[in-house]
Amino acid sequence: MESKRNTIQRRLIRDAVRELDIHATAEQVYDFVAEQHPTISKATVYRNLSQMADSGELLNIGSLNGSARYDHNCHKHYHFICEKCSKVFDIDHYQPDLDERVLVMEGFAVRSHSLTFSGLCPDCI
Ligand SMILES: [Zn+2]
Ligand SMILES: [Zn+2]
């Protein structure tokens, strides 16, 4: 029973991250899930988010403005943070050759890299 409950909780949480589509913080995911499932605890949401990030089901894109944010988009991409509205956008155009260049030029065996742009989004320009 425990594992079935776990599966349901995970699905709720994964759907919440996808539906929010804003690179939500754990707090935002909890608020979203709790609206329909008030019995779910904050600890459960936080624990599942971090387990799902560890297993690669979700991406923890690290802390922006102080809180870790979660991404349902697990393919390699970059981010753009708007300095005015604080929304986080996906930027495609991932550059796999950068990893290779760091290996050739600096001798580091790179597994992945991340890049975050900041400035003004199209709505705020
Ligand atoms: Zn903006
Ligand atoms: Zn993203």
Range of the domain at 105: 78-119
| Claim: this prediction has a pTM higher than 0.75 | yes
Ligand 2 geometric centre to CA of 2 (Å): 31
Q: Is the domain of 65 the same as that of 92?
A: no
Q: Are residues 64 and 82 in the same domain?
A: no
- The Å distance, Cα 57 to ligand 2 centre, comes to 13
Position 76 scores a pLDDT of 87
**What pLDDT digit, counting tens, does each position of 73-98 carry?**
888 899 998 999 888 899 998 898 99
**Three-state secondary-structure class, residue 4:** helix
Please give all residues whose CB falls under 5 A of ion ligand 1, grouped by chain where several chains appear.
82, 84-85, 121, 124
Is the domain of 37 the same as that of 62?
yes
CA 49/CA 20 separation, integer angstroms: 14
Distance, in Å, from the CA atom of 38 to the CA atom of 36, rounded to the nearest integer, reads 6
Our count of domains for the chain comes to 2
Looking at the CA of 120, which ligand is closest? 1
Ligand 2: centre distance to CA 123 (Å) = 18
Containing 69, the helix (H) or strand (E) segment is strand 67-71
For residue range 9-45, what is the model confidence (pLDDT) as tens digits?
Answer: 999 999 999 999 889 999 999 999 999 999 999 999 9
Q: Same structural domain for residues 67 and 82?
A: no
Q: Does a structural domain hold residue 125? A: no
Nearest ligand by distance to the CA of 23: 2
Q: Are 99 and 106 in contact (CB under 8 A)?
A: no
Classify residue 95: in a domain, yes or no.
yes
CATH code of the domain covering residue 59: 1.10.10.10
